[in-house]
Amino acid sequence: MTETVRINTSRPYDVIIGSGILDSCGEYLYDLLWGKRLAVVTDDIVAGLYLERVMKSLESSGFRVFSVVFPHGEGSKNMGVLADILEKLAEGGLTRADAVVALGGGVTGDMAGFAASVYQRGIPFAQIPTTLLAAVDSSVGGKTAVDLAAGKNLAGVFAQPVRVICDTDTFNTLPPEVFADGCAESIKYGVLTDPELFESFSRLDKSRLSELVARCVRIKGDYVERDEFDTGDRRFLNLGHTMGHAIEKLSGYTFPHGHAVGVGMVMIARAGEKLGLTEAGTAEAIAAALENNDLPVSSPYSPEELYSAAIGDKKRMGGKITVVIPEKIGSCSLKTMPVNELLELARLGKEGV
């Protein structure tokens, strides 16, 4: 049984989610990409686990395929590795009539999507996410990017995939902390709009993963459909990200993204409660949901450190910053404020519940 979520962006596409569908990825791409040569871009860890099965499925559906493998991890998400991927697409003889398949987590999806979008001025790409975070977040919505020395995701383009195929069984091989990262982003969707989803991730029943991933994708899809190019409502998806990005930056990117977003959500909810913007008990509920998924609820950084790191964030627009404030579980609002007020938020968020 699969779940299909339609994403109605400027070029609509389906996200197909199910258990055990990886070996059928060729069939799921057949109608869209038939006749094209496919370059499967993946990292070395995912290659060892899933590349052979994906190549076999694509080949048995009649596709001509080759692979491009790069070293895993955020450290690879840069212009140098992007250039290597582009060179390998060219060496493999990929033409404008062909396509890319991104197989892996968010790093792979962001890099392969970017590579496809600039290769010969843009060729189609499909996403096969293999982390929970990539499934519920990065594979959907069309943000592609690499990091620059000045910060994360600073070079990239908006480009929607032609299809997303998510086999939830691939999450079985994830290191627990990588799985937990995706739980934090899923809890975020619950805090944004869906108390029931929030509850489901507070006490996760893994046999329901396909259904829960589909629910997360539907929520993300709704924001993306309303604001494909991230100038309005899509900013809600940044819940927890202002402090989260600051934590990641201060840690030299050793604090994983989802873990940092979780801490950021607790901090902003705590600050919101103290300012009378957030229902009492919201921060505690978010913290409990995170802890149930072995996620941290605090960071070692001072409010002053977090503030300095956060004001360098790319979401800073002129002298103002927009933050997402939880009103209660299932409802949030945007608040634009002068950047210096962020220090007060960091102080209020840092203190005990």
What are the residues binding ligand NAD (CB under 6 A)? Answer: 43, 45-46, 49, 72-74, 77, 104-108, 110, 130-131, 133-134, 137-138, 141, 143, 152-153, 170, 173-174, 178, 181, 257
Answer with the entry of ligand GLY, ligand NAD, none that 73 interacts with (C-beta below 5 to 8 A by kind). Answer: ligand NAD
Nearer to ligand NAD, 181 or 228 (CB): 181
Answer with the entry of ligand GLY, ligand NAD, none that 106 interacts with (C-beta below 5 to 8 A by kind). Answer: ligand NAD
Which residue, among 328, 137, 108, has the nearest Cα to 219 in the 3D structure?
137
CA atoms of 198 and 269, how far apart (whole Å): 15
**How far is residue 204 from each of residues 22, 132, 221, 267, measured CA to CA in Å?**
23, 13, 22, 23
Answer with the entry of ligand NAD, ligand GLY, none that 262 interacts with (C-beta below 5 to 8 A by kind). Answer: none
Neighbour tally for 110: CB within 10 Å: 26
Tokens (6 digits) for 115: 């590579």
Answer with the entry of ligand NAD, ligand GLY, none that 230 interacts with (C-beta below 5 to 8 A by kind). Answer: ligand GLY
Q: Does 350 bind ligand GLY (CB under 6 A)?
A: no
Nearer to ligand GLY, 89 or 197 (CB): 197
CA atoms of 100 and 92, how far apart (whole Å): 12
CA angle 119, 122, 125 (to 5 degrees): 95
CA atoms of 300 and 250, how far apart (whole Å): 10
The alpha carbons of the chain give a radius of gyration, in whole angstroms, of: 20
Q: Does 265 bind ligand GLY (CB under 6 A)?
A: no
Nearer to ligand NAD, 105 or 303 (CB): 105
Answer with the entry of ligand NAD, ligand GLY, none that 234 interacts with (C-beta below 5 to 8 A by kind). Answer: ligand GLY
Q: Looking only at residues 222 through 261 of this chain, which bind ligand GLY when binding is defined by CB under 6 A?
A: 230, 234, 237
Chain mean position to CA 266:
19
Residue nearest to ligand NAD (CB): 106
Task: Kindly write down the DSSP assignment for every residue of 192-257, as one continuous string.
Answer: HH-HHHHHHHHT--GGGHHHHHHHHHHHHHHHHHH-TTSSSGGGGGGTTHHHHHHHHHHTTT-S-H
Specify the stretch interacting with ligand GLY by CB under 6 A; choose among 1-9, 135-143, 252-260, 288-296: 135-143
Q: H helices then E strands: how many in the chain?
A: 14, 11
Answer with the entry of ligand GLY, ligand NAD, none that 344 interacts with (C-beta below 5 to 8 A by kind). Answer: none
Bridge partner list, 67 = 40
Answer with the entry of ligand GLY, ligand NAD, none that 218 interacts with (C-beta below 5 to 8 A by kind). Answer: none
CB of 220 to ligand GLY, least distance (A): 7
Nearer to ligand NAD, 20 or 73 (CB): 73
- Please report, as ranges, the residues that interact with ligand GLY according to CB under 6 A: 137, 141, 143, 230, 234, 237
